Amino acid sequence: MDDSPALIRTSAAELYDAYVLKNYARASLTLVRGSGVHVWDDQGNRYLDFTSGVAVSALGHCHPHWVEAVRQQAGELIHASNLFRNSNQAELARRLVGYSGSGRVFFCNSGAEANEALIKLARLHGMGKAGGEEGKCYKVVCANQAFHGRTFGGMSATPQEKIQHGFRPMTPGFVFGELNNLASFETLVDDGTAAILVETIQGEGGVHPCTAEFLAGLRRLCDRKNLLLLLDEVQCGVGRTGRFYAFEHAGIRPDAIGMAKGLGGGFPIGAMWVGERSAELFQPGSHGTTFGGTPLACAAALAVLDVIEKEKLLAHVTAAAGPWFESLKRLAVDFPAHVRGVRGRGFLVGIEMAGEPAAYISALRERGLLALAASGNVVRLLPPLIASSADLAMSVEIVRSAFSART
């Protein structure tokens, strides 16, 4: 029997068909290269990538500073475990505390893990509230249409049939209020409630921002009832809205923040920041992860922060997003049969369509623009933070051309 490796090259599409779990409805596109705002497929076609790998590639693809930082760190020390210190993790924690306020940071590998940490924090806080008794105070109030990830904690905080179906029973203790309706959250709070957890801007749920009044109301409610205010900034954080965190627009501070995606600029990393008041709830042994906060992951995240700061990307997003949003809003006027409305903030925008977004997204792809779907018939645009005004204008041109072809 010949045991030499197979010499026949099989296409990625065939290999996916044969070997990869079928848990995604993937576009029939094999991407091979990226540079800045563009990616190329294996046929040589170029696309304007306004998915940013689902809000991950904050600096676009292969930013030279990021590539150099990762390359250099990979040759020095990649992984050492959390049983030892590493200076990149220490420095990244310091810089995130600078953005978040006095407190401490836990590092993990993804958004779901960051939110698991938030949920565990809620439970520890609840136990303290119940005089040290476990299982008395553990409820977390979340929002309808939320998306907090695919782990059991995250999924249980995600009241969507398509996410939970087949996996019940869920983790107990999650109740759901109506986003931007403070009264609906208030009525769900009782003695067994430990925390409130919301996305500052719901992404997967259809691009629904929390209003400033709602966030301020949640802050007051949490202060009054001794609850933790936990914000999931996994998708909307790390500069996407023109502030480092989206909640900054509302002028409030949460008790803890979950972040991931853009933080690593393409390298997997997640983090939870916890304010001073609650940071001591975690003690040695109460939580952990083998991979969280490796020297390599933290080098990638430090490079993202460097570029955000050096290239003044927060100011850039703020300035460029205004005219882009205005021109996207005109779509609702010019294509009333297709577009119901446009909403979002900064570089996180949803175009609500009259029907299923899949065909629109294919039409955009055919014209060289990659976009995403979100719940509620939404076409979602998540440009990298480095996208120029010309790139944004090009996206509008492509959208107009695709929508015109369908009228």
Q: Which residues are catalytic?
A: 147, 232, 261
Considering only 60, 103, 111, 293, the residue that binds ligand PLP (CB under 6 A) is: 111
- Burial, 253: exposed, middle or buried (Cβ in 10 Å; 0-12, 13-18, 19+)? middle
Applying CB under 6 A, the span of 67-75, 189-197, 198-206, 242-250 interacting with ligand PLP comes to: 198-206
Nearer to ligand PLP, 89 or 375 (CB): 375
> Pick from 152, 123, 125: which is nearest to 135 by CA?
123
Are 275 and 255 spatial neighbours (Cβ–Cβ below 8 Å)? Answer: yes
With a CB cutoff of 8 Å and minimum separation 6, the contacts of 282 are 106, 121, 124, 274
Q: Scanning residues 199 to 228, which ones bind ligand PLP (CB under 6 A)? A: 199, 203-204
Apex 343 CA angle, 363 and 184, nearest 5:
130
- For residue 313, the surrounding DSSP H or E stretch is helix 313-334
Shortest Å, Cβ 81 to ligand PLP: 21
Residue 105 CB, nearest distance to ligand PLP (Å)? 17
Measured in residues, the chain has a length of 407
Report in angstroms the alpha-carbon separations of 254 from 10, 99, 309, 355, 360.
50, 13, 23, 36, 37
Residue closer to ligand PLP (CB basis): 147 or 214: 147
E-assigned strand segments in 332-404: 339-345, 348-353, 369-370, 372-374, 378-381
Closest approach, Cβ 258 to ligand PLP, in A, equals 7
Considering only 89, 235, 278, 377, the residue that binds ligand PLP (CB under 6 A) is 235
Q: Name the residue nearer to ligand PLP (CB basis): 165 or 310.
A: 165
Q: Among 121, 122, 234, 263, which residue sits at the site for ligand PLP (rule: CB under 6 A)?
A: 234
Residue 28: CB minimum distance to ligand PLP, A:
22
Q: Residue 82 and residue 156: Cα distance in Å, rounded?
A: 28
Q: List all residues 6 or more positions away from 322 whose beta carbon is below 8 Å from its beta carbon.
A: none
Only segment of 93-101, 104-112, 210-218, 376-384 that touches ligand PLP (CB under 6 A): 104-112
- CB half-sphere exposure, 359, CA atoms < 13 A: 8
Q: Is 149 a binder of ligand PLP (CB under 6 A)? A: yes
Q: For residue 86, state whether it binds ligand PLP (rule: CB under 6 A).
A: no
- Please identify which residue in 57, 89, 100, 110 interacts with ligand PLP, judged by CB under 6 A: 110
**Quick one: tokens of 407?**
């009228």
Verify binding: residue 112, ligand PLP, rule CB under 6 A. yes
Q: Least CB distance from residue 352 to ligand PLP, whole Å?
A: 18
Stretch 150-189: interaction string toward ligand PLP, x if CB under 6 A: ----------------------------------------
Among residues 343, 368, 361, the alpha carbon closest in space to that of 406 is found at 361
Residue type at position 300: A
For residue 394, the one-letter residue type is M
Binding map of ligand PLP across residues 32-71, x = CB under 6 A, - = no contact: ----------------------x-----------------
Q: DSSP labels for 47-84?
A: EEESSHHHHT-TT-BS-HHHHHHHHHHHTT-----TTS
116 touches ligand PLP by CB under 6 A: no
**Exactly one of 99, 147, 267, 360 binds ligand PLP (CB under 6 A); which one?**
147
- Catalog residues that contact ligand PLP under the rule CB under 6 A: 54, 110-112, 115, 147-149, 199, 203-204, 232, 234-235, 260
